[in-house]
Amino acid sequence: MKNIKIIEVKSEIGAGTRGASLGVDAIKIAALDFMSNFFVHFPTEAIETENKLLFEPIESPYAKRIKGTVNMYERISKSVCETVKANWFPVVLSGDHSTAGATIAGLKMAHPKSKLGVIWIDAHADLHTPYTTPSGNMHGMPLATAIAEDNLDCKVHDLDEPTTGMWNALKNIGKIAPKVLPEDIVFISLRDYEKEEDYLIKQYGMKVITTNEVRRKGPENISRSVFRYLSDCDYIYVSFDVDSLDASISKGTGTPVSNGLREREAEDLIAKFMQHRKICCFEITEVNPTLDRENLMAEIAFNILQRSVNVLMMN
């Protein structure tokens, strides 16, 4: 039976819309509304945030609040690494997706000689860099930090020296770069990304599984093909951004996109993934209750969280 530890990251400095820092508590409120004592059962660690930077002027327009992101990467990667080394299974509940690069760094730091795979369930590729970003928001960049990619072929911005230094620090957290090889990333329900990200996906031949493919083949077949594809990996991390769900249900997130997964499709698929012995970490991110009605997004996230953890504990 896996020993599970919950790591709470109530950070939202990487997002463009305010409110994701409240997502973790919204999920806990959903648990209470369902009269579930889920959160009583597991040890929890809350990571100190840098959300105070939201009230300060932006210093790096192409990597907004990157100084705070570096601090978050250091704290989260250390926590995840120590959690794994102590034989706990980290379940990360995060505000915005920018810190997923830190989760990946922590997993790699715990197993520096092992090959890490990533299942990225998200409407977005999150492969931008400060050189290519259209928004400057760091939650569009975590996978670029994980694969240590600048994408200078598609460069549209010139960076100042401090930004360049901090970007390099993000890529090299844990003194390991890259943490993941691009070909060891599987995107699921990816459907909203820019030409600069598409360039990297095509350049590296990264695997993309569309919403229609999930619907057509079903969770069992998708799961089997994903693990076959990642068969060389020793450990696999699953990151679930709630905007992978269809915009009709994912109102409570900063960037909803149509043609996404239905609630049950996401739940069944993630439950299938959790049955696999190589899964080493699960993350849920980007719940924003300020954009929601009646906490629906957090309730869906909690259902997926609870079922996933139950499956983990049974295996």
- 129 falls in which pLDDT band (50, 70, 90)? very high
Phi, psi of 48 (to 5 degrees): -60, 140
Average pLDDT over residues 92-100: 98
Of the chain, the percentage scoring pLDDT greater than 70 comes to 100
What backbone torsions phi and psi does residue 200 show, to the nearest 5 degrees? -70, -40
Strands (E), 81-152: 89-94, 116-121
φ/ψ of residue 91, rounded to 5: -110, 110
Instruction: Give CA–CA dist 142/126, Å, rounded.
Output: 6
- Confidence class for position 269, pLDDT limits 50, 70, 90: very high
Average pLDDT (124-142) is: 98
| pLDDT of 2 strictly over 80 | no
Q: pLDDT tens for residues 160-169?
A: 999 999 999 9
CATH number at residue 21: 3.40.800.10
pLDDT at position 254 is 85
Q: How confident is the model at residue 256 (pLDDT cuts 50, 70, 90)?
A: confident
Number of domains in the chain: 1
- Nearest CA among 149, 161, 150, 146 for reference residue 76: 146
Predicted pLDDT of residue 138:
98
Task: Tell me the whole-structure pTM to 2 decimals.
Answer: 0.98
Pairing of strands 44-46, 185-188: unpaired
Q: Residue 1 has what pLDDT?
A: 58
What is the C-alpha to C-alpha distance for residues 294 and 141, in angstroms, rounded to an integer?
A: 30
Q: What's the CA gap between 231 and 117, in Å, rounded?
A: 9
What average pLDDT does this structure show over 104-113? 98
Mean pLDDT for 117-124 is 98
How many CB atoms lie under 10 A from the CB of residue 78? 17
How far apart are the two ends of the chain, measured CA to CA in Å?
6
Structural domain boundaries enclosing 268: 4-314
85: number of Cβ within 10 Å: 12
User: Which pLDDT belongs to residue 10?
Assistant: 98
Spatial CB neighbours of 120, under 8 Å, sequence gap ≥ 6? 126, 143, 185, 186, 187, 188, 190, 239, 241
Q: What is the mean pLDDT of the chain?
A: 97
Alpha carbon 137 to its chain centroid, in Å, reads 15
Q: Strand 4-9's sheet: what is its strand order?
A: 44-46, 4-9, 89-94, 279-285, 235-241, 116-121, 185-188, 207-209
**Stretch 206-220: mean pLDDT:** 98
- Short-list 147, 148, 167, CA closest to 157: 167
CB 189 within 8 A of CB 260: yes
Contact 15, 135 (CB under 8 A): no
Contacts within 8 Å (CB) and 24+ apart, 194-197: 194/128, 194/132, 194/134, 195/154, 196/127, 196/128, 196/132, 196/151, 196/154, 196/156, 197/125, 197/127, 197/128, 197/132
